Amino acid sequence: MPNKLSKETSPYLLQHKDNPVEWYPWGPDALERSRAEEKPIFLSIGYSACHWCHVMEHESFEDPRIAAMMNEKFVCVKVDREERPDLDQIYMNAVQLMTGHGGWPMSVFLTPELKPFYGGTYWPPTASRGMPGFDQVLAAVDDAWTNRRDQALKGAEQLTAELEQITRKGAEGISVPLDRSLLNAAAHALERMFDPIHGGFGEAPKFPHPFELQLLLRWWQRNGNDQWLHMVTASLNKMFQGGMYDHLGGGFARYSVDARWLVPHFEKMLYDNSLLAVVYLEAYQATGDEQYRQVVTETLDYLLRDMTDPAGGFYSAEDADSEGVEGKFYVWTPTEVQQVLGDAADVFCRVYDVRDGGNFEGQSILNLPKTIEQQAKLLGRETEELAAELAECRQKLLAERSKRTRPGLDDKVLVSWNALAIDAFAKAGAVLGEPRYIAAARKAADFILAEMRDERGRLLHTWRGGTAKLAAYLDDYTALASALVTLYEATFDESYITAAIDLMDTVLKHFGGADEQGKWEAGFYFTADDHEELLTRNKDLTDNATPGGNSMAALALLRLGNLTGRSEYLDTAEAILAAAAPLMQQIPMATGQMLVALDLYVGPTQELVFTGTGASQLALEAWQQLLPRSVFAVREEAKTSGPLDALFQGRDAGDEVALYVCENQACQAPVTGREAIRSAVNELAAGERG
C-alpha cells in the first residue's frame, strides 16, 4: 500500500510513495503524532536528481527490516529540499554543526518540538567502509531517546541556541568600505585559487562558479589587465571541452568529480545551465568568440527541447541515473559510434575521445582533449569542413541517444530557478537577436505571474501538473524581480517593471525584520513574516550554487532604483551590501553574486535612455556590448503614465531618435541620430574597459 506521500506533487516524494517506510510529508499530521506519542522525528531531506539519495532509498528505505525499525520507533518525514529550502537550511546547519560536513541525503533526528539532537547524511544499511550501519544508528538513537532522554533534550537545546546564532551571520561585523578595493581583494583571492592548468578554482570535485567568473570579467573590464580575462576564458574553454558539457544535447552537468572537468556528476540542473548560459554570453560579448555563442545556443536549446513545460515554465532537473546506473544515458563505445556513423566514426572517436577501454568505467564520456582547430591541423583538414562534419555526426548520435531510456525528470517548476532561466533567455535573445528566446522568457514570466500566486497575489514557490503551492521564499521574489527587469530591457514592456516593483515592495514589507531590541537589521530573512513558524528564521548573506536571496535583493533594488529613482530601493541595497561587506572580504568564494551586485553599486552606474521612433532597435544593438553597469530604458512614443516616468520626464525626442546618458536620473545633453548614438554606445563600452 502506498504511504502518505502518494498525494504529493513533488517527483522526489513520489519516488518514495511505495516504500515500506510509513513516510509522512512535512505537515501537521506528522508533527502532531510525534508530540502525541512522544516519538522523535526522523527527517530525511533529499532531491530527485541526487544519486546517493537513490542509493539510500534502495538500500535502506526499501528494506522491510529497516523500515519496520523506523516505523516502530520514529515518526518518519520525507522532504524535498527544492520544495522546502527553508527546512533544508535550518537542519543542514544543524548537521554541519554536529558532524563538520553536510550533503544529501540529509538525515536528522528531531525532538517533538522539532529541535535536532542527532544527524548525518548517507549511512549504508549495515556497517561498512568505516561507517556505522543505518540499522545501528536507528538502534542507538532509540536507546538514547528511551534511556537518556534528558541528555538528548539538553543537547538539542544547546544545538538550537547555536543555530539561532548563525542565522544572522554577516549581519553584524566590522565596517568595510564599499569600494573598488573590495572587488580588487576578491579578484586576487580568486587568482590564488585559480587552477592554471585546467581552469576553474580549487581541486576535485570541481564546480563551475559562474558568479566568480562574472566578477572577474567585470574586474578585467575595469582595469584592462588581460590576466583576469584569461582566468575566465581558460575556465570556460576547459569546461566546454570537458565531459561536464553534453556535446550532443547541450547543457552542463552539476559538477566534475575530477580536477580536469572530464567525469561529471551527470545530473543536469536548470539553475546551473541558466547561470552558465549568462557567463558564456558575457564572454561572447567581451571577446566575440563564436565558440561561446555556440555554447549559449546549445544550452538554451537544450532547455527549450527537454526542460520546458507546455504551460511555459521550466522544469527543475534531470537525474544522473538511468536504468539504475549513473551516466548510462551519456556514454559510448567505439562499436556504438560505428553503428551510427559508419565511415565517419573513426574521426569522431578520435576527436571526442571514444576509445577501447573507455575513459569512464569501460565506456567513454564525450570530450575534446584537443580543440577542433588542433585536430584539423593534425588531420590535414580545413577547420570549417571538419567542424561541419562533426556537427552532422553529433546530430545523428543525438537522434540515436534519444532512443535510450532517459534519466528521470523532475518536472516541477520553481519560481527562483525559473527566474534565472528567464534572465538567461531574455539576455541571450537581446544579445544574439533571437526572438524565440525572448518569447520563451516572456511565456515563462507570464505563466509565473498568472499561475503561481495565492488568493492575495503573493507568489507560490512550486508548481506541477496544474497545482501551485507553498509560500514563496526570499530568492523567489528577488530573483524574479531582477529577471523581470532584464525582460523589460529586452522587450521594453513596462508592465514587467510594474511587476518587479510589486515583488520588491512585498519583500520590503514582509521579509525585513528587527532584532530583539527592535532595531531594524540590514538584509532580509529567507521567509516572510507570515510564513509557517519554524525552529528559527534564517537570514543569509552568502551565495551557494544558486544566488542568495539577499544578493539578488541588492541587485534587483539597485537596478530598479536606478530606473525609477526610488531612493528607498537604493538605500536598502546599500545597507545589504554594507552588512555583507565583511563576508565579501573574508570569503569571496561564498559571496560571488553579492560581489557582482557590489560592482554595480560601485559603478558608475548609468541609465541609458533611448527615445523616439526606432529607439528599441538601437537599444537592442547596444546589448551587443558588455555594459554590466548600465540599465536600459526605451520609449518610442510619449506616454502619460508608467513606472519609469521620472526617468523620461522632459526627455521626449518625438520622432527623432535620441540617447540620454544619465546617472541618478541626471542626464547629459541628448545624442541624436542613429550613427551618433551607435558611436556613443561604443565609446561607453570602451570607457568601461580600463
Helices 210-223 and 226-241 meet at what angle, rounded to 10? 150
Mean pLDDT over 559-588 rounds to 95
Q: Which pLDDT value is given to residue 1?
A: 81
Residues 91 and 121 in one domain: yes
pLDDT category of residue 530 using cuts at 50, 70 and 90 = very high
Domain with 675 in it: what CATH number? 3.40.30
Residues 277 and 142 in one domain: no
On whether residue 443 sits in a domain, the answer given is no
Residues 660 and 633 in one domain: yes
| Cross-strand bridge partners of residue 462 | 414, 469
Domain with 100 in it: what CATH number? 3.40.30.10
Gap between the Cα atoms of 565 and 588, Å rounded: 30
Q: Which pLDDT value is given to residue 515?
A: 57
Residue 592: pLDDT over 80: yes
Q: Which pLDDT value is given to residue 171?
A: 45
Instruction: Compute the CA torsion angle 586, 587, 588, 591 (nearest 10 deg).
Output: -120
Positive or negative, the Cα torsion across 410, 413, 417, 422?
positive
Residue 674: pLDDT over 50: yes
Mean pLDDT over 196-214 rounds to 96
Residue 173: pLDDT over 70: no
For the chain, give the mean pLDDT. Answer: 94
Gap between the Cα atoms of 303 and 310, Å rounded: 12
On whether residue 99 sits in a domain, the answer given is yes
Number of domains in the chain: 3
Gap between the Cα atoms of 383 and 676, Å rounded: 38
Query: Would you state the cell numbers that stand for residue 589, as one nine-digit string?
Result: 568564494
Residues 198 and 142 in one domain: no
94, amino acid identity: A
Residue 117: pLDDT over 60: yes
Gap between the Cα atoms of 375 and 381, Å rounded: 8
Mean pLDDT over 530-539 rounds to 93
Gap between the Cα atoms of 689 and 225, Å rounded: 9
Residue 172: pLDDT over 60: no
Give the end of a domain, one of 131, 166, 201: 166
Least confident stretch, 431-435, 443-447, 512-516 = 512-516
C-beta of residue 560 within 8 angstroms of C-beta of residue 505: no
Query: Would you state the cell numbers that stand for residue 579, as one nine-digit string?
Result: 552588512
- Inter-CA distances, 314 with 182, 273, 304, 311, 419, Å: 36, 12, 8, 9, 9
Gap between the Cα atoms of 690 and 681, Å rounded: 16
Mean pLDDT over 608-630 rounds to 93
Question: Read out DSSP for 395-409?
Answer: HHHHHHHTTSPPPPE
Mean pLDDT over 290-313 rounds to 98
Mean pLDDT over 176-194 rounds to 96
Residue 513: pLDDT over 90: no
Q: Which pLDDT value is given to residue 168?
A: 57
Least confident stretch, 409-418, 472-481, 544-553, 628-637 = 628-637
- The CA-to-CA distance between both ends of the chain, in Å, stands at 67
Residues 272 and 227 in one domain: yes
Residues 184 and 124 in one domain: no
DSSP code for 519: P
Query: Would you state the cell numbers that stand for residue 343, as one nine-digit string?
Result: 565511415
Mean pLDDT over 389-409 rounds to 97
On whether residue 29 sits in a domain, the answer given is yes
On whether residue 558 sits in a domain, the answer given is no
Query: Would you state the cell numbers that stand for residue 122, as one nine-digit string?
Result: 548517507
HEC profile of 372-400: HHHHHHHHCCCHHHHHHHHHHHHHHHHHH
For 376-379, the CB contacts below 8 A with 24+ separation are 379/347
Residue 389: pLDDT over 70: yes
| Residue predicted with more confidence, 172 or 305 | 305
Q: Which pLDDT value is given to residue 557?
A: 98
Residues 354 and 268 in one domain: yes
**Phi then psi dihedrals of residue 554, to 5 deg:** -60, -45
531, amino acid identity: H
Half-sphere exposure (Cβ direction) of 507: Cα atoms closer than 13 Å:
32
Residues 355 and 217 in one domain: yes
Mean pLDDT over 159-185 rounds to 81
pLDDT cut 90: percent of the chain above it: 90
Residues 313 and 247 in one domain: yes
On whether residue 390 sits in a domain, the answer given is yes
**Phi then psi dihedrals of residue 467, to 5 deg:** -115, 120
Residues 198 and 244 in one domain: yes
Convert the pLDDT of each residue in 339-372 to its tens digit: 999 999 999 999 999 999 999 999 999 999 999 9
Helices 495-510 and 435-451 meet at what angle, rounded to 10? 40
Residue 650: pLDDT over 50: yes
C-beta of residue 252 within 8 angstroms of C-beta of residue 317: no
SS3 502: helix
Give the end of a domain, one of 372, 387, 410: 410
Give the end of a domain, one of 410, 430, 454: 410
Q: Which domain holds residue 144?
A: 11-166
Write out the H or E segment, with its range, that includes residue 279: helix 270-287
Residue 74: pLDDT over 60: yes
On whether residue 518 sits in a domain, the answer given is no
Strands 630-635 and 606-611: parallel
Mean pLDDT over 391-414 rounds to 97
Positive or negative, the Cα torsion across 544, 549, 552, 553?
negative
Mean pLDDT over 588-594 rounds to 96
On whether residue 574 sits in a domain, the answer given is no
On whether residue 616 sits in a domain, the answer given is yes
Q: Which pLDDT value is given to residue 664?
A: 87
C-beta of residue 245 within 8 angstroms of C-beta of residue 239: yes
Residues 154 and 193 in one domain: no
C-alpha closest to that of 358 among 334, 322, 374: 334
pTM of the model: 0.96
SS3 462: strand
Residues 145 and 190 in one domain: no
Q: Which pLDDT value is given to residue 520?
A: 67
